Amino acid sequence: MVLCGFGLLLRRSWVEALCTLAALMMLVVLGGGRTWLPNSGKVGLGEVLVVEMNIYMANERPDEVLAMLRTTGADVMVLVEPQWDVFRRFLDEDDGLQWLPHRIIRRKIEREASPMVVLSRWPIQRDDWFNPLAGVSCVVQRPEVDGGAFRLVGIHVPSPRGGSEWTRGNDVVRGMIESLRVHGDDGIPTMVVGDLNGGPGSYRDRMLRSELGVARGSRVMSLSGTFPSNLSILGVTIDDIWVDRGADVRSWERFVVPGIALLIFGLMCAMSLLRPHWAMVLIFTFLAYEQLITSFVTALARRSWIINVTAAGFAGIAVATSFLAGRQPFRGMKNINTALIFGLYLFCFFGATYSMMPEAARYFLKTGTPYIILMLVILPLLVCTTEQITKMCVPLLFVGCALICLILISPRTTIFGFRLFIDLSYTVGSSDSRGNPLALGELGGMMVIFASLMEQNSKNLLISALRAGSIVLGIAIAFLVAARGQLFFCAFFAVVCYPLAHEIKNAKQFFLRAFSLGALGMILLLVAKFFLAGSEATQRFSAEDLGEGFAGRVFFATSMLDAYGSNPANYLQGLGVGSFNAIVPHDGDGFIYPHNLVIEVLTHHGLIGFTLLSLIFLITAYHALQLLRAGLAGAVDRSAVAILLAMAGYTTMIAMKQGSFLIIPLPFYVFMIISKVYTRSVLDAQAYGYEDLYDNEYEEYADEYGDEDWEEYGQAEPA
């Protein structure tokens, strides 16, 4: 960066040079006294795990706070400003943190200092000479380690709400340092933990570094930070853990609040009012950010319909905006495939009346109706042309990358059964409440498809980096949640549809596309190998586990086919919604499903449902092939058509191995989009004077006119 700055000065680019030097100065200040290396690993044997938590005193959910504390497994814990209900529990020693029996409590000192609690696995002794206005100082004894004692100082410096408060806070830090110099010079290593109310490079931070000889534990190369807001700025934080320079900070993590997830949700809602394709992103990523938000916000976890209604409301406003702008969102919806899909779902609702297990039928319909409305009613209205699919690509990749990063650094993310989950137990109240990991895998696979097949018209390095990052993060999240089908099918359809997405006009483009396709395959292979080698999810990809999963699916299918075959009276209408739960034994209290779209439709909804499903598949295939012909001829955006085809194949194969189409309408929302775009293209073609966009007349004109002129049909001159 220094060389870059001098280079810009020599070129007399004063503005760029000053900006570069300012950025360099900022990095020096923010990085002062901190390591630039990433976390070197988890806490190992013989190492100490220290947790500091600054709790909002007005927090009205003490049970949620204590539940979070119980998951840390800390050796030493410092609580700054604990809320009153939590503080009373510590006074009564009824908090569920029994493995930290040794405690020091500082009560509130009028208006001068807030409460503070220090908890330890090992015996601790308070330093009586320490000024209680600054915090708490104590010596932690580790009997199993010879000479393993260390001094822990819990501090809470007053907030700088004015000049006098700032001066008083500086005096508190200065007095603390002087006390430690006089009384704490006994050769015991010192650790300072708490709220400094000053970021890296501040006067208070410099005093600790220069006069006390301690350094911040937080890394510069971190994805999290709390100063000056919830947005991450080089991992800057005002709460930290300072250690003697001889100590090795192995790992440093921060508890993440849902502010950024809510910010992304709000951004998508706001942008959907201005750009309809942002509303499409809002729906495509709904299942991922719904889990992330509800893992932190108790009110939304127990009333998840609020998020659904909010997303549907903003998407509905986007539809109304498109209608008022003259985009005719209902044009193309009147087609036979849409009628068949709605007919299938209406018949499913009828199937609840004769189900073998009515409570399961009620569960499936109640749970799935909000998603059906969102994805089958609102989403197709947002897609008018293939151009909107193209416009959606970059926002979708941006939001998807942000969500995956938040999921990976979230303290609510956990590993259970060799799979990554979003833990909902803190907010839902049930110890075994977890999010749907396969929904996260579907998001990752979708990002791989969009990033691989989207057409990038400009050589924008940021867009190229976003595409590459989307592929890596998409594969990463799919591996970590052990979504085996999502991984295979997204890679398969991305590679198969790649030649369809990108036009080849000459030999140069042929070799360029071939190289790009090879590079894509190599990236997929390398990322897969990397995550398979370093993830606990590797077990899910073993031959034994794959065989068990396949055997389980076969057992589900054969059990349902046997039950259906032994009930001739139900051949026509099927066994009814949710009847799988009355036939196949399973562990747990919840309701499950056959994990196969065709088996579920045939056995639950009989020959009527199976006939409807077969017609839907055939008509969708016809519409997709016609769109492909149009894309290859240049009449519509071929990359968008390739994305739709890949998504149709991807969601169809996913529906053949997991989930129930009554809860999440896979793959029917993609089918409806394909049929609407096809029908609208035919209507537009007829309006321009020829009856069929894809008939021989069209191909003859395509041969007669040049490729560049053909884009302006009706104004072309013979080639």
Residue 586: the pLDDT is 73
Question: Which amino acid would we find at residue 290?
Answer: E
| Mean of pLDDT over the chain | 79
Is residue 367 predicted with pLDDT exceeding 70? Answer: yes
Q: Over range 554-574, report the average pLDDT.
A: 93
Q: How confident is the model at residue 111 (pLDDT cuts 50, 70, 90)?
A: low
Is residue 110 predicted with pLDDT exceeding 50? Answer: yes
Which pLDDT tens digit goes with each residue over 609-621? 999 999 999 999 9
Residue 413: the pLDDT is 78
Q: Pick the most confident of 325-334, 489-498, 663-672.
A: 663-672
Q: Pick the most confident of 207-211, 477-481, 653-657.
A: 653-657
What does the block give as tokens for 74?
């800390």
Q: Pick the most confident of 73-77, 124-128, 503-507, 510-514.
A: 124-128
Give the separation between CA 572 and CA 153, rounded to whole angstroms.
Answer: 75
Is the overall model pTM greater than 0.75, yes or no?
no
Query: What sign has the CA pseudo-torsion 669, 441, 524, 656?
Result: negative
Place of tokens 């992330």: 292
What does the block give as tokens for 297?
């916000």
The torsion region of residue 73 among left (phi > 0), alpha (psi -120 to 50) and beta comes to left
Helix 84-92 and helix 62-70: axis angle, to 10°?
Answer: 60
Q: How confident is the model at residue 665 (pLDDT cuts 50, 70, 90)?
A: very high
Q: Which ranges of 566-596 does DSSP label H, i.e. alpha helix?
A: 580-583
What does the block give as tokens for 503?
């036009």
What percent of the chain has pLDDT above 70? 73
Residue 16: the pLDDT is 53
Q: How confident is the model at residue 691 (pLDDT cuts 50, 70, 90)?
A: very low
Please report the beta strands in 97-171, taking only residues with DSSP state E, as ranges in sequence order. 102-106, 116-120, 124-126, 135-140, 150-156
Q: How confident is the model at residue 648 (pLDDT cuts 50, 70, 90)?
A: very high
Q: Can you list the domains of the chain with their CATH numbers? A: 1-31 (no CATH), 46-244 (3.60.10.10), 287-308+386-533 (no CATH), 336-382+542-701 (no CATH)
Q: Pick the most confident of 257-266, 334-343, 676-685.
A: 334-343
Is residue 248 predicted with pLDDT exceeding 70? Answer: no
Q: Pick the most confident of 95-109, 407-421, 637-651.
A: 637-651
